[in-house]
Each structure stands twice: as structure tokens, then as C-alpha cells.
Amino acid sequence: MTTLSYGVDERWRLTHLGRLLGHARRRFDERVLWLMAHSPHAPLALSNLAARQRISAAIVHITRHLPLAGARLSELAASAGMTKQAMGDLVDQCVAWGLVRREPDPRDARARRIVFTPTGLDWLQAFRRAVEQAEAEFRAAVGDAVAAVVLLGLEAYADGDPAPPRRQRPYNVRDRDQAP
């Protein structure tokens, strides 16, 4: 097996904040799914799917973003940062598993809302317990003080302005050495 070798000037690609956040989120999601697969509180059929790695972290997206009162597909997709088509595929899968159902929107007879089923609400409670356990494990691994700083920092960063500063004029290669 070949081992990749990175020079000093290339190591930044492995250790920049975005990459570390991505790895941390993946690890956290994998732990949550593992806990759900072994949870006595999760609906048995769904915990069996999780144990066989048939439920991906993408399905957890619905669990994270669907309000208890339900939402239209477009609202759910926007909340999760996904296209309507991609979210529609996830919703179809969750409908097949009995997590959610589509029902008429009382505000607009032409629209449909995605809502949790009773099984989906049980799944949501198991998800909550798994997240709480994974967070406790994180605190145990890094210490309460570091965990608090990480949480505060991530909250501040996530709530910040997502748009980069706008340039006054289109970018020109001749101006590359000038600050925006």
C-alpha cells in the first residue's frame, strides 16, 4: 500500500479548519448513528437498518431540519441546504421507512406538508438521546472547558454573515495584489 507524503507547504490541506470541521462532523454523525443502531429506544426496524448501515447521515438531515409541526418540501430543503429534488428523494425514503408522511397543507390545498409519524417521533427521541450521548463523549474527550469554547465559537461562526465581502468592481487579474 502506498503512503502519501506531504511536504511542509502542503500540510495545510490536511489541517485547515474546514477539513477538521468536516472530519469532526462525520465522526459525530457516525457515532450518533451507531448509538441509534444500538438504542433500545429507537424503533426496532429502524435501528436494524442503522445497524446494517442502511441509514446514512443524510437521513439524519431530515431529523435535524423537520420542525415538529411539519414543513413543505421546499422549506425543508432550504433549511437543510439541499435541492428540492435531493430532499424529495430523502423524504421518499423516509416515507417508505415510516418516519414521515405527506399530508395536505391546511394553508394551501395544492401543497403538501412533510410531518413526522408516531414512529418518526420515536426515532426523533432516540436521535435526541444519541446526540446527548455523543456530546457527553465529546466533553469527556476534550474536557468541559474546551467543549464550551468550541460550542461558543461554532455558534458565533455559524450565526455570522455567510456572504463574503462584495467587491466594488469585477475582479481583474491586474489587481490581484491589491486588497479587496
Residue count of the chain = 180
Highest mean pLDDT among 85-89, 138-142, 171-175: 138-142
Q: Higher model confidence: residue 21 or residue 48?
A: 21
Rounded Cα distance between 88 and 66, Å, is 13
Give a yes or no: residue 23 inside a domain: no
Give a yes or no: residue 105 inside a domain: yes
Range of the domain at 38: 30-154
Give a yes or no: residue 165 inside a domain: no
- The backbone torsions φ and ψ at residue 95, rounded to the nearest 5 degrees and listed phi first, read -65, -45
Say what the pTM is. 0.73
The pLDDT of 43-60, averaged and rounded, is 72
Rounded Cα distance between 129 and 127, Å, is 5
Measured from the Cβ of residue 131, the count of other Cβ atoms closer than 10 Å reads: 19
Q: What is the CATH number of the domain that holds 117?
A: 1.10.10.10
pLDDT for the residue 177: 63
Give a yes or no: residue 113 inside a domain: yes
pLDDT for the residue 47: 73
Give a yes or no: residue 73 inside a domain: yes
Report the amino acid identity of residue 126: A
pLDDT per residue as tens digits for the range 90-105:
999 899 888 999 999 9
Measured from the Cβ of residue 58, the count of other Cβ atoms closer than 10 Å reads: 15
| Three-class SS state of 36 | helix
pLDDT beyond 60 at 63? yes
User: Average pLDDT over the chain, rounded to whole?
Assistant: 84
Give a yes or no: residue 5 inside a domain: no
Give a yes or no: residue 175 inside a domain: no
Rounded Cα distance between 81 and 164, Å, is 18
What's the domain count of the chain? 1
Give a yes or no: residue 150 inside a domain: yes
Distances (CA, A) of 25 to 3, 29, 128, 161: 25, 6, 16, 21
